[in-house]
Amino acid sequence: MVMAKSYRLRQLLYKIESSYGTDPTPTGSANYLEVLDLNIEPIVSDEAERQIISGYFGNYPVELVNKRANVTFSCYLSGSGTAGTAPKYGDLLKASNMTQAIVSSTSVTYSPNSSTAGDSVTFYVNYNGVRQLVKGSRGTFNIEMTAGELPVINFTFTGTFATPTDSAIPTPTKSNQATPVAFGNSNTTGFQLFSYAGACQSWSFDMANEVVFRSLVGSTDTVQITDRKPTGTVVLEAVAMSAKNFIDAASNSAQGNNILIHGTQAGNKSSELSTDRFRPDYL
């Protein structure tokens, strides 16, 4: 394990790849993402043991195989600041196998994609002048919103391994990341769960993509998304059965809506809409 000399001196640049695994050369002026946290596992691998008869106690020699890198980080759930312009993290959602639909000057919508492999991105992760290049990256994400706090998106990505190099942290330019607003009455409206407008304490959603690194003979190393099993949690104030009988809905495996709109200004609104089964956790 190694530790950067100054943990504060970290930076994330990323850019969508025009062809898988080809470095599109992110720059600080165009591809900087403001993040809350940033961690990298610079080399993740499996081990192939050489199970030789040695005549002494001890570990077998190993060869590292399936070398890859993992990148995790969070950013605030906020819009670009301009209606119809994708937020700075939009291409990360596309690399999490989401489709993007832009209506000029109006909206940007993301939906789960199952028909193609999806996009990929290259990361430049810089720790105090040491840069890790992570190409061919795909991943998953979850969203967390709690009353009185700023909502965040947590991303987890896997990409191909490359030896780090010395590279100065470039001067960044922030763009398309509006100031976030707290999850609460003044900023969040339209909440419904199974058509009931209850008092919501927290809301979370996990896309839960299955991200697989594949290294085969006769093929380039790739990261693929092979499945997803989304989950979510809503914590709301308990009410009388006469107001809303969630128990019957759960016991009958019913489906219903889950709606909310976070944000009040055009270009900085996030709306969530889904239909699924649920299970109450207070039983």
Question: pLDDT tens across 57-88, in order?
Answer: 888 888 888 999 999 999 999 999 999 999 99
Q: pLDDT by residue (tens digit) across 24-35?
A: 999 999 999 999
State mean pLDDT over 99-128.
Answer: 92
| Domain extent for 204 | 10-48+62-276
Q: Closest Cα to residue 91, out of 106, 69, 110?
A: 110
Q: Does 56 reside within a domain?
A: no
Instruction: Report pLDDT for 283.
Output: 32
Whole-angstrom Cα Rg for the chain = 22
Q: Does 180 reside within a domain?
A: yes
- Give the SS3 label for residue 176: coil
What is the number of residues in the chain? 283
Measured at the CA of 39, the angle between CA 20 and CA 61, to 5 degrees, comes to: 80
Q: Does 186 reside within a domain?
A: yes
In this structure, which amino acid lies at residue 112? Answer: P
Between CA 171 and CA 218 the distance in angstroms is: 40
Contact 134, 39 (CB under 8 A): no
Q: pLDDT by residue (tens digit) across 122-135?
A: 999 999 999 999 99
In this structure, which amino acid lies at residue 67? Answer: K
Q: Does 3 reside within a domain?
A: no
Q: Give the chain's mean pLDDT.
A: 91
Instruction: Report pLDDT for 4.
Output: 53
Instruction: Supply 21's token pair.
Output: 């695994």
Instruction: Report pLDDT for 273.
Output: 67
Prediction pTM value: 0.91
Q: Does 281 reside within a domain?
A: no
Is the pLDDT confidence value at 255 over 60? yes
Q: Does 54 reside within a domain?
A: no
How many structural domains compose the chain? 1
Contact 151, 262 (CB under 8 A): yes
Q: Does 179 reside within a domain?
A: yes
Between CA 170 and CA 173 the distance in angstroms is: 10
Instruction: Supply 262's token pair.
Output: 């976070």
Q: Does 264 reside within a domain?
A: yes
Between CA 195 and CA 215 the distance in angstroms is: 47
